[in-house]
Structure 1
């Protein structure tokens, strides 16, 4: 690696000119917070994460910050006050959030509702949808099911051409102490979700779902299969979740399930946040440790073979090349200043300079030699002195090189919407693969 930036390569032959280049959806996922007191380590870490995110420049490099629930350890107003104060330090930061089971830890969500109401006004969040649900009888000799009006913190937004569905699996539950995890959707939200997926298919837009846990964690077995099967049949591109407390990727051939480690309770290495992108037909994900200095780079196209949509083709994996054996490589770079340069290479081949082609995407037509199996993209900070690993960041993928028969018919998973098809350890993406945490390994905190 030389201190001097590489020279730009010649433009690819027959490259289209004047064609608008799309901007990918890019969001940052800060995992379960479990806030308790203002001076706790996780509160300090969360404030540091927000400070780092707010320093990203220019601001339009990402679309929003996602908080997947379990914001407060006990669901108390004093805990939400910590979160409100941290967010107030960054009033321009776009935030999307949903509740988790700890936000109903005491069997009620009054304090969460009050906190969320403040964000509806200050952050332009959608207000909850109020649906009437049956509630189980309590202490009645006659089994009558009273009804109650239940706020559901679900929302539908189109962002960068992606339909983003925020799904609340906590509020529709019964919230009884001793019942354990009580994840539900409720009939109204289930119908809303199904109709939203049908409309997305009619509109021809990709879908990303944001919820607290895997569909397989829903309390009712029929709901587990129905929702997981719905996502699979609809071809939902990405389901982004918390709850696990560890970084995990699971891919069933159509949908990538991605969980990011908890800020508040975790045994999964450095605290930080995940960066996700949907760039045309390609979905990508990588974890950013808080203690790793800028820059941070994420390859957004082509797709890595482990998370590519099947049946794979050159088009839906981003491997559609042009003459002379070149493929288009795209990446986003997050930093507090623009990088000195960004370049890419195939395997250990020559580096090729990448060009900023939109407000957030670097791109190059990379020569792809026969037998190549890896793409690296490296971003270099302007303060890098030409030696040492700091201020230089690299993302690595293994693109699809053997493609499926286009008539390949995928079988629905035996446990749709579960972690069964999880990807093994993938350290380059921040995935350890050991499932350390309270919700799979049974760890106690």
Structure 2
């Protein structure tokens, strides 16, 4: 077998809380959001994850009173690292003044990457009419883009704003755009990462295929595919979904505010060496929570799939290195793993966030299972025990057998369908696919 892949000591781990659509302080989604933050703030140690991501549509109508609910909820947890971008509802009435004021206040209270100002052609603010019906003659204006580039745990994290460059005005539409300057910025940051062999994760509100301009859809989706962007993490769909084109995993997490997708909660994602992993954590499930971060599951493994980039390179004695992140309010009583239905093998905590074991790998095995047990477990029943299961790659590709260029890059076409173990139902229930009046 190949030499075992080199894993960084700490994978990038983030928590994704889906679209909030906040309206009033007493609404159920506001209560759920506060409960989610409380649960996340109870994770120990705090170094078990890097940040909490809010993917836009924070306020249902982009109104100051709605951002006040959000600001108060976040203020109750001042040490939580937060990263956020706007969604179309944050520009619901063609303006982002209230979002900008909220963002400025949050940036002053805690560390946030600064927004970027670029000059773009923009229509005048309603109700004024454009000087000409041709949008090409609209005047240029300075537009604040709530985008950022950060290198975290050896991963280039790009937060992309597809809302601020859009027009969001009655008669024009709540459209998604990047604009010229942000597109060039995004290209440059990704190309730098490719040259430096740094993995890339992109955080945006929607699929690239949802961009209004056809050229932007192809340009951005094609850029992500060619550059081998590892992960694009999104909101907007209102349901959990995973789509994988052979290079990039597109992951969307269900909405907190408007949803038909089951229990409210949040997603947990990780980039661990060559492997990308994702799983949904239901709020009403007791601790602990397990996410296998290596090897890769066959459904989301990078192609061409080799022993090295799938995490299946062996070590001495026919063993495979298994790594997992365990989130909990206190250290688990034990964490163990097994191949198929074989014997359990104890995993050792090697960092604040990673448990690891050299797992014997019999030829007949088809799955890897990791189980964590909370100290409060009574010895029977499902509470206080959690399990993640993957199907690792068993047949490997030749180096030249990469995936074909997608006809619709950056879309949900290659979605993996239902994957209950990861919290994905596969039925795409929600307003943006089936036209609910939300």
Aligned to 1:89: 76
- Displacement of 1:142 after TM fit? 7.5
Give 3-state SS (helix, strand or coil) of 1:418's partner.
Answer: coil
**2: CA distance, partners of 1:190 / 1:163:** 16
Aligned to 2:224: 231
Q: Does 1:420 align with 2:407?
A: no
Give 3-state SS (helix, strand or coil) of 2:392's partner.
Answer: coil
Tell which deviates more after alignment, 98-107 or 319-328.
319-328
In structure 2, the gaps of 5 or more residues are: none
Aligned to 2:255: 262
In structure 1, the gaps of 5 or more residues are: 1-13
Tell which deviates more after alignment, 141-150 or 408-417.
141-150
Aligned to 2:131: 140
Aligned to 2:59: 72
Aligned to 1:117: 104
Q: Does 1:100 align with 2:93?
A: no
- Displacement of 1:151 after TM fit? 0.1
Deviations 1:317-363 (A, max 9, x none): 00000232100000010000000000000111000000001121000
TM-score, normalised by the number of residues in structure 1: 0.95
What is the aligned residue count? 430
Deviations 1:189-234 (A, max 9, x none): 0000000001101111100000000000000011001100000001
**1: CA distance, partners of 2:301 / 2:332:** 28
Aligned to 1:23: 10
Match among 56, 69, 75 for residue 43 of structure 2: 56
**2: CA distance, partners of 1:341 / 1:354:** 8
**1: CA distance, partners of 2:254 / 2:69:** 20
Q: Does 1:344 align with 2:337?
A: yes
Deviations 1:63-92 (A, max 9, x none): 000000000000000000000000000000
Which aligned pairs between 1:143-292 and structure 2 lie closer than 5 A?
Answer: 143=134, 144-292=137-285
Aligned to 2:378: 385
TM-score, normalised by the number of residues in structure 2: 0.96
**2: CA distance, partners of 1:21 / 1:151:** 35
Q: Does 1:38 align with 2:25?
A: yes
Aligned to 1:128: 115
**1: CA distance, partners of 2:15 / 2:402:** 34
Tell which deviates more after alignment, 169-178 or 71-80.
169-178
Structural RMSD (CA):
1.5
- Displacement of 1:122 after TM fit? 1.1
Aligned to 1:7: none
**1: CA distance, partners of 2:8 / 2:15:** 22
Aligned to 1:330: 323
Are 2:167 and 2:174, in contact at CA under 8 Å, matched by a contact in 1?
no
Are 2:312 and 2:321, in contact at CA under 8 Å, matched by a contact in 1?
yes
- Displacement of 1:379 after TM fit? 0.2
- Displacement of 1:180 after TM fit? 3.1
Aligned to 2:434: 441
**1: CA distance, partners of 2:154 / 2:62:** 34
- Displacement of 1:171 after TM fit? 0.1
Are 2:275 and 2:311, in contact at CA under 8 Å, matched by a contact in 1?
yes
Deviations 1:33-71 (A, max 9, x none): 000000000000000000000000010000000000000
Are 2:8 and 2:272, in contact at CA under 8 Å, matched by a contact in 1?
no
Are 1:117 and 1:127, in contact at CA under 8 Å, matched by a contact in 2?
no
Are 1:21 and 1:358, in contact at CA under 8 Å, matched by a contact in 2?
no
Tell which deviates more after alignment, 173-182 or 100-109.
173-182
Are 1:173 and 1:182, in contact at CA under 8 Å, matched by a contact in 2?
yes
Aligned to 1:5: none
- Displacement of 1:390 after TM fit? 0.3
Cα distance, 1:107–1:142 mapped onto 2, change above 3 Å: closer
**1: CA distance, partners of 2:12 / 2:4:** 24
**2: CA distance, partners of 1:152 / 1:67:** 16
